Amino acid sequence: MKEKIRFSGLHPEMDIVYLATSVPRKCGIATFTKDLADSISDEVGGLPYRVTALSESTNGYDYPPQVTFEIRKNEIRDYARAAEYLNGSSAQVVSLQHEFGIFGGEAGKYLGVLLSYLRKPLVTTCHTIIKNPAKEYRESFERVIEFSDRLVAMSPTGVEILRTIYGVPENKIVLIHHGVPDVPFVDSNFYKDQFGVEGRTVLLTFGLLSPNKGIETALDSMPAVVERHPEVIYIVLGATHPEVRRHSGEEYRLSLERKVRDLGLGNHVVFHNRYVDLQELIEYICSCDIYVTPYLAKEQITSGTLAYAMGAGKAIISTPYWYAEDMLSDHRGIIVDFGDTKGLSDALVNLIEDPVMRNKMRKKAYEFGRLMIWREVARRYVELFQEVLKEREHREVREVWQARMFPQATLPDIKLDHLLALSDDLGLIQHAAFGIPDRDHGYSADDVARGLAVLMTYYNQVKSPAILPTVRTYMSFLKHAQTDTGHFHNFMSYDRRFLDQEGSDDTLGRVIWGLGTVVRWGPNQRLRHLAQNLMEKALPKLELVESPRGKAYAILGFHHLLDRFAGASRFRWLLEKFADDLATHYKAHRTTYWHWFEDILTYGNAKLPEALFRAYQDTGKEEFLEVAVESLDFLTQTQWNGVYFELIGNEGWYPKNGEKATFGQQPVDAGYLVEAYIAAYQVTGKDEYLDSAQYAFEWFLGRNRLNEALYDFADGAVADGIDSSGISANQGAESVICFLMALIGMSEFRSQRLMASQPESPEITTSLNLTRYAAAH
């Protein structure tokens, strides 16, 4: 098993990217996103986060470092590029803040381009939900629903609309309230002197100013209130909405100021035309006695301003938009009808004159607001993200899985490009970051040995002299890696320093496997003799091997050596001893339902039964065959779900009496399965093993849980696995080696079968041109 390389310092279980507008843009979604992201970061121990930001300004914004990607609102290509960028990132979850106005295209349809390409888990917070949408808005929002793992509604009405109007299943909807700052329940008089309103009854409305805020209604109600209570002052806090200012300048604000003059309210209404920071906003809210939201539109599913006022425990009067009806029920506030000037003035007077009722209302609002403070909201989101990630691990996808590839009548051409790109004049670099050799992690004898096995198997088929310089390089590395005791160092840094005294049993076994292929198929006697000498020098250490996998790898090396030197009695004795040991391991751990060599299934599992099939070929011992068949069938039963192989993940493995890990699936297991099934067919002649070999191979090509190919047809690179965040961006040596071993094995076997069925055809050779083979077949 290879070390799992990550290219981010983020916690693997809570690596979040927010898709939204971002500060410093003056936008409610941007503010919400920052507050949410900061709160979640605090909840998970201060981990950093990233934002993919929607931008309108052609010059962009002076974004904070959290913004790592920008989408220009009206550039459709940016949406596709953003999806590609997110897919290539280490993000575990994408948190989408959805509101129609912030995305480009008709009704925001450009967002659908991004979502259709996105391969990350998606949690969408619905800031806008339209009950009776126009066709284009409905279609746009239904695309968001389709691609979201969860939809967050911020009110019960939002939940109900999603369920009844859009047909969203209840288990896909989560109610999480709009977050609010955690502020103390204090007397408003404590803050009034900061704003020069001490001794006055303060009414407040805040937020970006636009015609739908209903400020006119509040102003028209003020004369009757002032007549009874001349100490009243109404503060309208907030800059004009950028969209309003872009199209109409300050025309709307000036019309309100004219209305104030016309109503004679100059001493009772104050406009603060600016965008205040959070601390100043909290102080304004705390200074008010009554908060007013006189909005004009019924279909407002959320309101951050109302939420903030509730969180601060304010007495609230509002018009009956959806969010207000939900939040102010149970006497947490007062509702007056849209445009009802008299109703609003009466409600204000009653609240001013009845401090008992006002304080009771404040307490109810504050108690409910405790559910909405950012700490609690962040905790709910963290739980939701973890739930979605866990669900992805255990989601049953067989019934909805659809192949994205055609059945493989042919196999891909064998491309050694990536393997050779990882090879230099010293050996084989073991890791690759996004396909580029990663020198930071140096070399390993594990990979060099298995790379040698690939090249020798390939050479046996095509006799290509072009690969021989690389073969000599690999042999030179292994000779240098062998210690005086006969064992082998495993890890070497890029500056040519060995990093260990000697490798593990598995390292020794893998080297013997690779050297055995050289003894069997080496292009000249000198190489074959060197491989033989290295194997013989390792004999004292081989006799001490305890690891079952180390023994299995070594058996394969012995099997290759014995094919050329059947009389090599010491190696034959060791092969039979190791096979006996494996059979003994199997009997010790086997139960009625658990047919395996250990009490846990981990990595490289199929090499154990494969080794016993080869041992049976060399010894004829029936016990080896029985254990090989039963254990391989158990592996199949454990991992084949009827549609694709669900390999055992390295994020927990599969212990006896435990749960099988889903993610961290590795190419090594798919590749080894292919080789084991080919060995099983060669020994038993059962066609079912050929089918299994094909399906296991197709795991690389997209027959897998994510329905995505790990193999890159362009350069022959292979992704390092299937993680909860998607296909790994890394393409290391082990992955391409195991793919090539499987591909070469499949192609050689098909060619041999074809030759057997059409021995007279001059067109059929052992060539790896499988297109020609397919046509002939």
Q: Which of 368, 359, 374, 369 is nearest to 188 (CA)?
A: 359
Ranges of the chain with pLDDT below 70: 1-13, 57-59, 393-410, 751-777
Residue 322: phi, psi to the nearest 5? -55, -50
In the prediction, which pLDDT does 11 show?
41
Q: Which of 709, 8, 649 is nearest to 392 (CA)?
A: 649
Residue 624: phi, psi to the nearest 5? -65, -40
Q: Please, is 132 exposed, middle or buried when counting C-beta atoms within 10 Å of its C-beta (0-12, 13-18, 19+)? A: exposed
Between helices 607-619 and 569-589, what is the axis angle to 10°? 130
- Which residues, including other chains, have CB under 8 Å from residue 447's CB and lie 6 or more apart? 428, 430, 733, 734, 737
In the prediction, which pLDDT does 541 show?
96
For residue 371, CA distances in Å to 151, 255, 327 come to 19, 39, 12
Between CA 774 and CA 614 the distance in angstroms is 29
Question: CA gyration radius for the chain?
Answer: 35
In the prediction, which pLDDT does 751 show?
66
Between CA 225 and CA 209 the distance in angstroms is 23
Average pLDDT, the chain: 90
Distance of CA 615 to the CA centre of its chain: 42
Distance of CA 179 to the CA centre of its chain: 25
Q: Which of 551, 509, 512, 549 is nearest to 532 (CA)?
A: 512
In the prediction, which pLDDT does 56 show?
83
Between CA 765 and CA 464 the distance in angstroms is 15
In the prediction, which pLDDT does 730 show?
87
* Under 8 Å between Cβ of 54 and 78: no
User: What one-character-per-residue DSSP string does 575-586 give?
Assistant: HHHHHHHHHHHH
30-79: pLDDT as tens digits: 999 999 999 999 998 888 999 999 998 666 788 999 999 999 999 998 99
| Residue written as token pair 């070399």 | 443
139-163: pLDDT as tens digits: 999 999 999 999 999 999 999 999 9
pTM for this entry: 0.66
68-94: pLDDT as tens digits: 999 999 999 899 889 988 887 888 899
268-281: pLDDT as tens digits: 999 998 878 888 88
What structural domains does the chain harbor? 16-175 (3.40.50.2000), 189-371 (3.40.50.2000), 417-776 (1.50.10.10)
* Under 8 Å between Cβ of 8 and 15: yes
In the prediction, which pLDDT does 401 show?
52
In the prediction, which pLDDT does 757 show?
56
Residue 410: phi, psi to the nearest 5? -120, 170
In the prediction, which pLDDT does 573 show?
96
- Percent composition of the chain: helix, strand, coil (DSSP 3-state, to 5): 50, 10, 40
Q: Which of 150, 149, 147 is nearest to 117 (CA)?
A: 147
In the prediction, which pLDDT does 16 show?
95
DSSP-derived secondary structure letter, 107: G
In the prediction, which pLDDT does 639 show?
97
